[in-house]
Chain A
Amino acid sequence: MSRTIQIDPITRLEGHGKITIFLDDQGAVEDCYFQIPELRGFERFVEGRPIEELPRIVTRICGVCPASHHMASAKAVDACFGGQVAPLAHKLRDMYYHAHYIHSHIAHFYALAAPDFVCGPGCDPAQRNILGVVAKVGLEIGGQVIASRSKAQRIQAILGGRTTHLVWCLPGGVSKGLTTDELAEIRPLVGELYDFTQFSLQLFRDVILGNPEYVELILNGPYTLDVHNMGLVDQNNAVNFYDGQVRVVDFEGREICRYSPAEYATHIAEHVEPWTYLKFPYLRQRGWQGFREGLDTSLYTATPLSRLNVADRMATPQAQAAREEMFSTLGGRPCRALLAAHWARLVEMVQNAEMLKRYCDDPEITGPEYRLIPDRITGEGVGIVEAMRGTLTHHYTCDQNGICTGANLIVGTTNNNAAIHMVTKKVASTMIRPGVEPDNGVLNLIEMAFRSFDPCFSCATHSLPGRMPLIVTLMQGGEVVRTFRRDPS
């Protein structure tokens, strides 16, 4: 008799995300659905408001990626006002964004990714958290994690005035520049953050690469997908987080398309399924072909690993060295092993720290020309940045008075929706065996599939990302026969 397994977060009793796994009569996985809610009415909420207010409003869409939304929104608004931006403002925004990246990537690696490997995938869920990591590798590292995040936060606060609800970016620039005294405070913090990125890479080598079982799991486990890769690159095809063109490369390394922000709608479309609120973006020119892998698929991922896959190089030397080591170890580029996204995050952090160093040494960075006052309204703008969790697109329209008439957002995690859905099914099909009741270890191995994407549905809700709370319900013949519960740790 067929059964249903439901993995169901409990922080919300309505509008929450869940994974539902359907088993056939023999107990094998028949199908799997990954469903999440969405926040309602953002477009309506911003319609009728002055377009320059949007960068300040969008920081409250998401408490996890506020700077990403602020930057993408600011760039879209820049375009609505003609696109003239003070060159120094681009540097300062980019500088801020590198600090934000480090702050976010540290949290994901040490609090969400590392417990799976340091504590082990089968570890008791109550122990598989940052406390478990600290217990294994030492209290001092816990202190360094907190301190390094604080340093990255401090850099953001110095540059932008605050960290979470930014009001810093304005059409044509930013509201404040960087003084020499402020730069003097930032400089030593950057050096310490760079050291921490190197420490983190070494920890990855020691703990994960030093364990053949983990390397086998990364390279040859079910955590792979034959779909394409998306990410921002600069004019040299180097990884860029704040600016550039979006490049899409297939899983064999061939460029499929490359586009500027204003062209996004020519290349990206969104498919709707009746069983989830979240849309499924795909490559428009290939058309929606369903949830399938292959060279002709229209699906892609937009993750840290995707960014490294689409770029020909990193923008800084030590990050490039770390990238070469990664691809060399993983068998070349592009890499299809989704769990390698954790390693890619650490490589990105090296570039973030090196770029911060570069800006500290830039003689123009404390200059006074950090804003150009716009002199016209064009009525439409698209801004794209790389959020930590994927390519983030904001598209706005406004009338001749600068009043917002429309908004469309494709957030980082949305790009990965199809891939998360597919790999969750793939891993569940591998890990759940007929006649064997899935335990917490199996459930965590399924969670690891989507955790590699660092999914953040704060743009949609607060609930689902990371070590989500779970209820697993086994249904047989319409009756609940067993329930697992796991609270967030």
Chain B
Amino acid sequence: MERAGTVILGLGNPILTDDAVGVRLAGEARCRFGARPDVEIHEECPVGGLELLAFLDGYRRAIVIDAIHTEGGRTGDCYRFTATALRGTVNLNNVHDANFATALALGRRLGQRLPEDDEIHVFAVEVADDLTFGTELSAELAPCYPLCREQVLAGIEELLAEAPAEAP
């Protein structure tokens, strides 16, 4: 199935404090890039693991936005990496069935048309509290959010300036 060139996925839970940051940023991306015909955006992607394959199938490029915890990380720090050097973000680390890398490998073996690893781009924001129910960001992350937004949206804009690589 051939679809729009790029899919943007916001991962996270909108009522779990900082876990919502990926969902919020995907919403911001919709405001900025939602009118483009070559971009499809799922602001709140509710699945992980094997089910994530259905959200990637047919796209040449994927942009995933999620929360992350890193050792010694500062709340609000933004990280950017691709699936060639995948790191464990909060929601990509689905451990109920298969992690992201395993799901991608299985999907490719089954012949699904998934983006290449270097066309799967992850933007991850260091968060402080993703265990408390609430619709607001934590007091630690909230003041950092405007800068996070600009960094992530600038990164997405940079990616979208070039067409994704042709599928092999």
Contacts and interface: CB of A to CB of B under 8 A. Distances in A.
Interface of A: 9-15, 37-42, 44-45, 57, 60, 63-64, 66, 107-108, 111-112, 129-131, 134, 139, 142-143, 146, 149-150, 153, 164-165, 456, 458, 461-469, 487-489
Given A107-B97, A164-B47, A150 B110 contact: no
A45 B133 contact: yes
B93 interface: yes
13 contacts: A10-B88, A12-B90, A15-B131, A64-B96, A108-B96, A112-B96, A149-B50, A149-B51, A164-B46, A466-B95, A487-B99, A489-B98, A489-B102
Nearest to A139: B109
B96 A465 contact: yes
A459 B65 CA distance: 22
A63 B50 CA distance: 13
Interface stretch (B8-16, B140-148, B158-166): B8-16
B54 interface: yes
B106 A131 contact: yes
Interface of B: 13-16, 44, 46-51, 53-54, 69-71, 88, 90-91, 93-99, 102, 105-107, 109-110, 130-134
Contacts of A11: 69, 88, 90, 93, 95
A468 B93 CA distance: 9
Contacts, number: 119
Contacts of B14: 60
Nearest to A59: B46
Contacts of A468: 95
Contacts of B93: 11, 462-463, 469, 488
Contact of B110 (A44, A143, A467): A143
Contacts of A467: 95, 98
Contacts of B133: 39-42, 44-45
Contacts of B48: 63
Given A143-B110, A164-B46, A489 B13 contact: no
B5 to A, nearest CB: 24
A41 B106 contact: no
Contact of B46 (A9, A63, A134, A489): A63
B20 to A, nearest CB: 10
B69 A14 contact: yes
Contacts of B90: 11-12, 462
Given A60-B13, A146-B53, A13 B71 contact: yes
Contacts of A12: 69, 90, 130
B88 A131 contact: no
A130 B13 CA distance: 26
Contacts of B102: 129-131, 489
Nearest to A455: B96
A142 B46 contact: no
A318 B23 CA distance: 44
B47 A131 contact: no
Nearest to A65: B96
Contact of B69 (A13, A45, A146, A458): A13
Nearest to A43: B133
Question: Nearest 9 A-B pairs (CB), nearest first?
Answer: A111-B97, A45-B133, A164-B46, A488-B99, A107-B97, A11-B93, A488-B95, A40-B132, A41-B133
A246 B137 CA distance: 40
Given A39-B132, A41-B134, A131 B46 contact: no
B97 A142 contact: no
A149 B93 CA distance: 20
A461 B96 contact: no
B91 A131 contact: no
A100 B67 CA distance: 28
A164 B13 CA distance: 12
Given A45-B134, A146-B106, 10 more contacts: A13-B70, A13-B71, A41-B133, A111-B97, A129-B102, A462-B94, A467-B95, A487-B88, A488-B95, A489-B102
